[in-house]
Structure 1
Amino acid sequence: MVATKNGGPVDIHRVLDNGLLVDPHDQQSIADALLKLVSDKHLWARCRLNGLKNIHLFSWPEHCKTYLSRVASCKPRQPQWQSSDSQADNSGSDSPSDSLRDIQDLSLNLKLSLDGDKNEGSATVDNALDTEDALDEKNRVEKAALTLSKGVLGGTQKAGSSEKEDRSSSTNKFPSFKKRKNIFVIAVDSDATSNYIEIIEKIAEAVKKERDSGSIGFILSTALSISEIYPLLTKGGFSPSDFDGFICSSGSELYYPSSNSEDSPSGLPFVVDLDYRSHTEYRWGGEGLRKTLVRWASSVNDKKGEQGKIVSEDESGSTAHCFAFKVKDLALIPPVKELRKLTRIQALRCHLVYSQNGTKLNVIPVLASRAQALRYLYIRWGMDLSKVVVFVGECGDTDYEGLLGGIHKTVMLKGVATEARKLHANRNYPLEDVISFDMPNFAQVEGFKSNDIRTSLGKLGILKG
């Protein structure tokens, strides 16, 4: 190659030694270098051999490996939620609400006024009687104001301590996977619930001995809401306690199993991770975004009037941080790439995910995703991603690619979720550009037989024997 003496080519030439470097502003030196490289056969052959010998050092897999190793070597910062509780108590008590401050100011003004009236001795008898009545009235008002002030202050402190106790008590229940040797994340996307349950059963059966000993835990990662997951697990004979965590609604919610259903407002035996929720709801549009999406769905239905309702709101699958819509025909609405472009043009900060083979559309916060939830578990709870195994199908939801590659290990179940390929029909690059199938932390299994799954886990070094 003939390249310039500045920028990236200098570093590439230092490693490969496969060409000549020239001054980009010197036309004559550029011409001389080109002629020299073409006319000198030995120089040409040497540069060619050196380039072929070391070009793999600049491949995408090598770049990713270097990048991830640098990230892994960085020392994690202490998250804000790990700060001392005493600091939170002090900051909370020093900042009463405006209404409380107003009440305290009112009582102070009444007291000053009362003292001023006591010092005045020039009033007549009639005025004295009026003043006495006024003083009694002021005393009653002052007493009521002070009582209200104490009540509000006590109620505020009590509510704050109660909320803190709820958070700390629920945090103590989080999560059991900190004690696990390995974590299996089941992120297989399928619209057939029976097939979905069978896949979970086969994966659990493959590591039954390790699961019973407590060395392996499970996290379920799905586009379903927590209210949809619970009856599905119950129908399949699973208990919420069989899992260490639930990444729900395409990554917009993170739940942990709970022995007490009172911990959840929905009455289900799960408790939500409030720290993850506070992270993902940054600039979340909420009800205003939902109304905009409903209007968009109505406009789509109006344009395709003869086709009936193409897009309709799915209230049963929606949550406060995930607006779900049912899709009748995926071919009649824009692909996810076009929808994301449309939302960006309208300044809507959200993330759109087609799921369940294109029969459902989830709209979630822009900072939320299933991959982001795994990163959060690493930062928040210290979950070692190198000991995490993510199970995926041959294809999946439109956020499927985010689950591939990285520090964690991946097991792809061939032949599973193949119908979801239509969701990625507009992809103009092969899947091999996202993840190399030759990576040592990647394995493929034909189908989802428990014996084959166990064999693949052995190849990844997760299981022995």
Structure 2
Amino acid sequence: MRFFTNPHKPTILALSRPDPKKNVTTLLKAFGECQLLRELANLTLILGNRDDIEDMSNSSSVVLTTVLKLIDRYDLYGQVAYPKHHKQSEVPEIYRLAAKTKGVFINPALVEPFGLTLIEAAAYGLPVVATKNGGPVDILKVLNNGLLVNPHDQNAIADALLKLVADKNLWAECRKNGLRNIHRFSWTEHCRKYLSRVEHCRNRHPTSRLEIMTIPEEPMSDSLRDVEDISLRFSIEGDIKLNGEIDAAARQKKIVEAFNRMASLNSNTSIVYSPGRRQMLFVIAADCYDSNGETTETFQAMIMNVMKDAGLCFGLGKIGFVLLTGSSFRETMQALSCCPVNIEDFDALVCNSGSEMYYPWKDMVADTDYEAHVAYRWPGENVRSMAMRLARTEDGAEDDITEYVAACSSRCYSYSIKPGAKTRRIDDLRQRLRMRGFRCNLVYTHAASRLNVVPLFASRMQAL
């Protein structure tokens, strides 16, 4: 309430990341240039959390700086709220407050793939104005609780907001429609609709239904003999002939023969080694470091004991080994070189706290598919210096934490921590990074002498 001269006016609520694609600046221009809308309503912009705009990512910093300049240009002080912080638990109350003032929720994004905030707003009785590009078209078709606009047309945005704020009958009708239809976006309704569609398809195509038949097992071809529990059985309902040519039994026989021929042909091609089918995987996920963060002999002894005991119990051909470590690939190879085991005995090595994956039996190159998978929302170079600066405490020295270049990679930034130095707790550091738009996983490793900053989707558990 500290932002508004008159907090009792209807609230126009926008809630999103400070991202150029969310088009908040066009909304602000629409509000600032429509005098009647400014007289009737207040504008609330919930744009993530921040401490210092200068510490945020470049795109977020540009958006927020532009927002402040526009507020100043149109002299919107007392009419626009732009809080620096909010908790996730406070979001429902924000929606309720906007609905209590008979306000409107707006999503003016240039393109919105889905529009979850529109559904949340409807659940709290807020009419909506939304972009006509993307998911909101389908959402409003179901909910019928608002208006669609061209996100590039600030006049259209102002007109739609003014229409809902000024016309109380329209506002009440949209609110009522939203609350009445919101159940159609519940999981219960989604599952019911999905199952009804499946049943509809089954009823439309009763003769093409496939099912598993239990029949006596037949000898398999040589190319499939080492594969257990595989059967190719096809049943087609109805006593009919397919395409007027062959019956179901003959077609089944031809399909199985075709599979066998294909397997036989494939068996003649050049053979590439792979670990083969495993009955069991042993995952070694323990790092053993001394007080200086150096790998101890316990690490090698543990690996040798696990491999030895597993081989005696099960036979090495049917089991595989995976090593998960917080060390870099180079450090891992160096530690294993002192161990009387072949590196090729490992099906996989997961290094740098789950940010890299290697298959020693294949090559010594990081799995590019896994790297692409964990790259989602990875800020890369933008977080490199920021993480090091934020990890220090206010009274910490400049050299308390320094970049450990030898262990860094494209998906992991590693920092060395000076013995006795104080650094921030993981949850505190993660929160500070998130306030600046950086979402990462943080891991203290090597007996807390090193900090690894890896992508949000990278971890030992995610790698498994």
Same fold flag (TM > 0.5): no
Greater percentage in helix: 1
TM-score, structure 2 normalization: 0.38
TM-score, structure 1 normalization: 0.38
- Structure number with bigger Rg: 1
